[in-house]
Structure 1
Amino acid sequence: MQRLIDLYRQWAGEAPANVQKLPQAGSNREYYRMADADGATVVGVVGTSRDEDHAFVYLSNHFNKRRLPVPRVLAVSDDELCYLQTDLGSVSLFDAIAGGREAGGRYNVNEKELLVRTIRELPDIQIRGARGLDFSHCYPQPEFNMDSVLFDLNYFKYCFLKPTELDFHELKLEADFRLFAKDLTAERADSFMYRDFQARNVMLDGRGNPWFIDFQGGRRGPYYYDVASFLWQASARYSHKLRRELVYEYYESLKNYTEVPSVRHFVEQLSRFVLFRTLQVLGAYGFRGYFEQKRHFIDSIPPAIQNLREMLGLKCFPYPYMMDMLRRLTALPRFATIEQPALNRADGYRTAHTNVYKAHPQDGPATFSKYDGRGPLVVRVFSFAYRNGIPADESGNGGGYVFDCRSTHNPGRYEPYKKLTGLDEPVIRFLEDDGEILVFLESVYKLADAHVRRYMQRGFTDLMFCFGCTGGQHRSVYSAQHLAEHINGKFGVEVRIVHREQGISTVLEARSKGKEGPQP
């Protein structure tokens, strides 16, 4: 600690006015927030491995030259066991999405947007970050290869599989392990494999932009690994639908940096890495849980086993003995009580970008109207209370759709929600957890999508949607807001939102749309 203070004094010209020890993560490194008299802070790090610290310092300097969002190293001790880096604050992606995780995987729109933003930034550090990088500085080895794969598979075998006392033929399993390792390392990889890419290692700035930390274990390797590590983190409980959407977002972003394989090949190879990553984390959980008796890791085993069970049910991998052994493993009585997760009803609507249907030139206009070809389309979405009447149509077109939300569960009946609206987090979670509003919106989205597509194709200028409920406060506000964001996100048109009874008016501006690609 004194050496770190000396390093700070050497860098700043004076001792820190305040030093606060930060919670320790999974490694042996110690972190301190160090502040000067004006309150400006940096983070001081005390390591135990010179090679590991050297890897971080080298990678940080390299990534900063590439203008990637990582902390900047400010000062390093002569033995490289202490260094100072810029302070990225205290809000991690893991903290920011805690509500969805604690709600059993029911992530709201804002939490999903943070996940999308993060996964779309990942190829930047993987592909652009690898350019000009000297991988010989990586720790503990420069690349992902057969030896590292077999090490992790045997870590699973000795630290997790054997303690379960499941009977298996070790030579047959070893043969499948080698075949599995060969398939995982078959493709040439010129990208940077982050290796420990998870929500805890992503910090968020004041605008919600992701910054990456703890990449010192990275090396040359396939980009599939980090996607599997991030999206199949056992405790996150991402639904199948959310994972598919995030894989799509990653695939589309990856196209901006390198030539991508076909969707089919991408998904097949990603599936192998998901299986590998699942076995790898079970090995770690077995060691930390069974041998070191750490409660957190023991508690993490059930969701990891569930991930494994789902993988076994989704795809038949060409490793017959290993797959048979894994099926017997998940069927052991100690794991049989692990419940299947309930359908994540919070994913009842989609907000991912997709292109508008383009009419064939030979189709010709379906009808003729004085509004044909005028455009661009502006969509107006209202929430209202029926007792105050349906909102007036000011466009002169005779309105559009009016949806009655009163058939769905009303949070306004309960005291904790009476002073809140459908824009507030507790009401959002109530409605999404209950699920009735999501089923209702599925049908609304189908109608709205078809109508918006056709209006855009014909060059119409105005379309109106109204949602009514008892007080215009909860269900109608939620529905109007989500339809507006859905239409703006999917079609890129201007959407004007009016929550009439709440006196709130906002505009989601029109934007240019990116090219749609295949969805893994």
Structure 2
Amino acid sequence: MKKLLELYSSWRGKSPLNIERLEGAGSNRAYYRIVDKDGQSVIGVVGTSRDENHAFVYLANHFAQRQLPVPRVLAVSADETCYLQTDLGNTSLFDAIRGGREAGGRYNLKEQQLLRRTIRELPNIQLRGARGLDFSNCYPQPEFDTESVLYDLNYFKYCFLKATEIDFHEPKLEANFRLFAKDLTAERMDSFLYRDFQARNIMLDSNGSPHFIDFQGGRRGPFYYDLASFLWQASAKYSFKLRRELVFEYYNSLKNYTEVPSKHHFVERLSLFVLFRTLQVLGAYGFRGYFERKRYFIDSIPPAIQNLRDLLELPAETFPYPYLTDLLHQITLLPQFAQIEEPAANRTDGFRTTQHDIYTAHPLDGPATFSKYDGRGPLRVRVFSFSYRKGLPEDTSGNGGGYVFDCRSTHNPGRYEPYKKITGLDEAVIRFLEDDGEILEFLKPVYQLANHHVERYLQRGFTDLMFSFGCTGGQHRSVYSAQHLAEHLNRKYGVEVIINHREQGITQTLPATR
């Protein structure tokens, strides 16, 4: 701290007014916000590894020359144990998309747009950033190579696989590891591999534009790694649909910087890196969770296992490492990693494709967008019967109404004396309407529409849906229709349904059963 303050005073020509320690990252560096009396701030960094600090300073200066969105280095101590950089503010992408993450992966349009802007910018730092870069300055090594791949795979083996107590044949596993490493390093190595490309390491300015930090672990390597690292981060819970769209954004942006591989090749290679990154993460979670007993990492293991489970549903030829994939299948079946079933639209499936096409929609994609009202739940359905003579029912939810169905095209029992003093809740009226049959034909498409709407609202976590049925007096046809739709939805989906036969003064609640 003393040396950092001396550096600041030497650079600024005066002492700071205030210094505040910031939440640290996963490394051994300490970060401080240093503010002068004019309110201007910089970030001070103290690191115990001179080589790591040197890597950051070199890379930051190089990227600044390439006019990339990174912090500028302002001053460095003579021994490179501390340095000053520009302050990019307090808002990280991780914080900005917190709502979608906490809603189980239901990201609203604003959050999705931030993710798209970020993923479109990634090839910029990977490809433009690599031009003229002296990779010998990288830390702890200059290149993504077979040795580094095997190190991470063995990290998975010793810190996670052995902790599961699954018996395995180590020479066979090592043979598959070497094949895997050969395939991963066969890809072109002309880009900057960020290595720790995640939402916490992306700061957003007032316009929502991304700026990159904490890239000191980067090296030369294939561009697939960072894409896999970002989009398959288990805690982000990106939906299959959103993940596909972000891959599409990246693929299109990549064309601005280099000749892109075919879609088929791109998908195949990306799948390999997704598997590698998943194993790498499980190794880290195993060490931090099983050995250091840190709760956050233990809790992160099941979502990572779900990513692994989804990957293993890809065609067998995707991963030509039979012994390794057999072990991974065994892991996904362990009782401590039991699968929690979710609605298809909420699942964070692996990178499945239709005929290896990253553009084509898929039935499992789920909803394309979400709104600020998503994820609140649970759903409550309100069903009204009413008379058109007295106007439409009032919507008290503030959502603006819902569906209104006009029952007046169907045969009216109110025209006949025996039914004039009873309602659509009475057996005689029910028999009249059902024997006549017109009301049943009328309700068929209503049920289909209502089913679809309720299912989508349940998927998106909406809280309120309203159906209203009107007829001449609000006594027979509308009452029958409202009552039967309400009972149908409550029975089929287990949601709470409030029935209001307005003109009859009858209100009934069918409680939720799920």
TM-score by length of 2: 0.69
Q: How does 1:4-403 map to 2 (within 5 A)?
A: 4-316=4-316, 317-336=319-338, 338-344=339-345, 348-350=366-368
Write the letter of the residue equivalent to 2:340: E
CA distance in 1, matches of 2:346, 2:328: 29
Q: CA deviation at 1:302?
A: 0.8
Q: CA deviation at 1:342?
A: 3.0
Q: How does 1:492-507 map to 2 (within 5 A)?
A: none
CA distance in 1, matches of 2:342, 2:133: 42
Write the letter of the residue equivalent to 1:216: Q
1:432 maps to what in 2?
460
Deviations 1:259-318 (A, max 9, x none): 000001000100000000000000000001111111111111110011001101123211
Deviations 1:216-236 (A, max 9, x none): 000000000000000000100
Cα distance change on mapping 1:348 and 1:287 into 2, 3 Å: closer
Cα distance change on mapping 1:348 and 1:306 into 2, 3 Å: closer
Identify which range, 291-300 or 246-255, moves more after superposition.
291-300
Unaligned runs of 5+ in 2: 348-364, 370-390, 393-399, 405-456, 466-514
Write the letter of the residue equivalent to 1:267: V
Write the letter of the residue equivalent to 1:251: Y
CA distance in 1, matches of 2:199, 2:464: 30
Whether the 8 Å CA contact 1:3–1:82 is kept in 2: the answer is: yes
2:435 maps to what in 1?
none
Write the letter of the residue equivalent to 2:298: I
Unaligned runs of 5+ in 1: 352-385, 388-403, 409-428, 438-520
SS at match of 1:211: strand
Whether the 8 Å CA contact 1:306–1:340 is kept in 2: the answer is: no
SS at match of 1:85: strand
Deviations 1:333-367 (A, max 9, x none): 2112x41343336975547xxxxxxxxxxxxxxxx
CA distance in 1, matches of 2:342, 2:34: 43
Deviations 1:79-109 (A, max 9, x none): 1010000000010000000000000000011
The list of structure 1 runs, each at least 4 consecutive aligned residues, that deviate by more than 4 angstroms after superposition, is 345-349
Whether the 8 Å CA contact 1:52–1:216 is kept in 2: the answer is: yes
Aligned counterpart in structure 2 of residue 406 of structure 1, from 379, 393, 402: 402
Whether the 8 Å CA contact 1:190–1:220 is kept in 2: the answer is: yes
SS at match of 1:45: strand
Q: CA deviation at 1:187?
A: 1.6
Q: CA deviation at 1:407?
A: 3.3
Cα distance change on mapping 1:269 and 1:160 into 2, 3 Å: same
Deviations 1:428-449 (A, max 9, x none): x999323999xxxxxxxxxxxx
Write the letter of the residue equivalent to 2:236: A
Write the letter of the residue equivalent to 1:323: T
CA RMSD of aligned residues (A): 2.3
SS at match of 2:44: strand
Whether the 8 Å CA contact 1:123–1:253 is kept in 2: the answer is: yes
CA distance in 2, matches of 1:326, 1:345: 24
CA distance in 2, matches of 1:326, 1:174: 14
CA distance in 1, matches of 2:60, 2:242: 31
CA distance in 1, matches of 2:225, 2:219: 11
Whether the 8 Å CA contact 1:176–1:322 is kept in 2: the answer is: yes
Write the letter of the residue equivalent to 1:245: E
Percent identity between the two aligned chains: 71
Q: How does 1:409-488 map to 2 (within 5 A)?
A: 432-434=460-462
Whether the 8 Å CA contact 1:44–1:84 is kept in 2: the answer is: yes
Whether the 8 Å CA contact 2:343–2:459 is kept in 1: the answer is: no
Whether the 8 Å CA contact 2:234–2:303 is kept in 1: the answer is: yes
CA distance in 2, matches of 1:55, 1:158: 29
CA distance in 1, matches of 2:108, 2:264: 29
Write the letter of the residue equivalent to 1:120: R
CA distance in 2, matches of 1:331, 1:320: 17
Q: CA deviation at 1:75?
A: 0.2
Write the letter of the residue equivalent to 1:434: F
CA distance in 1, matches of 2:254, 2:76: 34
SS at match of 1:203: strand
Q: CA deviation at 1:24?
A: 1.4
Larger Rg: 2
2:494 maps to what in 1?
none
CA distance in 1, matches of 2:333, 2:200: 31
TM-score by length of 1: 0.68
CA distance in 2, matches of 1:344, 1:38: 51
Q: CA deviation at 1:406?
A: 1.2
Whether the 8 Å CA contact 1:345–1:435 is kept in 2: the answer is: no
Whether the 8 Å CA contact 1:71–1:212 is kept in 2: the answer is: yes
Write the letter of the residue equivalent to 2:325: M
Whether the 8 Å CA contact 2:232–2:274 is kept in 1: the answer is: yes
Cα distance change on mapping 1:270 and 1:405 into 2, 3 Å: farther
CA distance in 1, matches of 2:141, 2:78: 23
CA distance in 1, matches of 2:345, 2:24: 33
